[in-house]
Structure 1
Amino acid sequence: MRPTKQHWKVAVLDMYEQVPNEGMRCIREILTSYARIHALQLEFHEYEVRVQQQLPDLSYDIYISTGGPGSPLDSEGSEWEQRYFRLMEDISEWNETAIDKKQLLLICHSFQLMCRYLGLGNVCRRRSPAFGVFPVHKTTAGEQEQVFSELPEPYYIVDSRNWQVIELDHQKMDAIGAQVLAIEKERPHVPLERATMAIRFSDYCLGTQFHPEADATGMRMYLLQQEKKNQVITNYGAEKYHSMLEHLSDPDKIMLTHDAFIPAFLDNAIFKRPLLQ
Structure 2
Amino acid sequence: MTNNKVRLAILDMNDDEPNQGLRCIADIVGFFNTDVDWKIYNVRAKQEIPDTSYDIYISSGGPGSPLDKGEWRAPYLKLMQNLWDFNKKESQQKKHVFFICYSFQVICDYFNLGEIKPRRSTSFGILPVHKTKKGHNDPVLAGLNDPFYAVDSRDWQLIQPKLTVFKNRGAKILSLEKIRTHVELERAIMAVRFSDEFFGTQFHPEADPVSMQAYFSLEEHKQVVIKSFGEAKYKQMMDRMDDPDKLIMTYETILPTFIKNAIHQIKEPLLS
Q: TM-score, normalized by length of structure 2?
A: 0.91
Cross-structure match for 1:80: 72
The 2-side partners of 1:255 and 1:181 are apart by: 20
Contact 2:226 2:233 in 1 (8 A): no
- Correspondence list, 1:136-215, <5 A: 136-215=129-208
Describe the superposition over 1:222-276 as per-residue Cα deviations: whole angstroms up to 9, x where unpaired: 475112222221xxxx334312111111121111100111111012211239xxx
User: Post-superposition, which runs of at least 4 consecutive aligned residues in structure 1 deviate over 3 A?
Assistant: none
SS of residue matched to 1:67: coil
Describe the superposition over 1:38-77 as per-residue Cα deviations: whole angstroms up to 9, x where unpaired: xx2311100000121001111111000000000111x23x
Cross-structure match for 2:22: 24
- Aligned match of 1:249 in 242, 245, 249? 242
The 2-side partners of 1:62 and 1:176 are apart by: 21
Cross-structure match for 1:54: 48
**Residue type matched to 1:160 in 2?**
S
- Correspondence list, 1:100-139, <5 A: 100-139=93-132
SS of residue matched to 1:21: coil
Cross-structure match for 2:89: 97
The 1-side partners of 2:151 and 2:172 are apart by: 22
Identity of aligned residues (%): 44
- Structure 1: any 5+ residue segments left out of the alignment? none
SS of residue matched to 1:194: coil
Describe the superposition over 1:75-128 as per-residue Cα deviations: whole angstroms up to 9, x where unpaired: 23x331000000001101111122200100000000000111111111011000
Greater mean deviation of Cα atoms: 141-150 or 220-229: 220-229
Cross-structure match for 1:230: 227
The 2-side partners of 1:91 and 1:243 are apart by: 40
**Residue type matched to 1:56 in 2?**
P
Aligned pair count reads 259
The 2-side partners of 1:97 and 1:105 are apart by: 20
RMSD of aligned alpha carbons:
1.5
SS of residue matched to 1:148: coil
**Residue type matched to 2:61 in 1?**
G
Q: TM-score, normalized by length of structure 1?
A: 0.90
Contact 1:223 1:229 in 2 (8 A): no
The 2-side partners of 1:17 and 1:112 are apart by: 16
Cross-structure match for 2:270: none
**Residue type matched to 1:108 in 2?**
C
Contact 2:225 2:234 in 1 (8 A): no
Describe the superposition over 1:144-203 as per-residue Cα deviations: whole angstroms up to 9, x where unpaired: 000011111110000010001111111111110111000001010011011000011111
With over 3 angstroms needed to count, the CA separation of the structure-2 counterparts of 1:33 and 1:48, relative to structure 1, is same
**Residue type matched to 1:231 in 2?**
S
- Aligned match of 1:42 in 16, 36, 40? 36
The 1-side partners of 2:115 and 2:211 are apart by: 30
**Residue type matched to 2:85 in 1?**
E
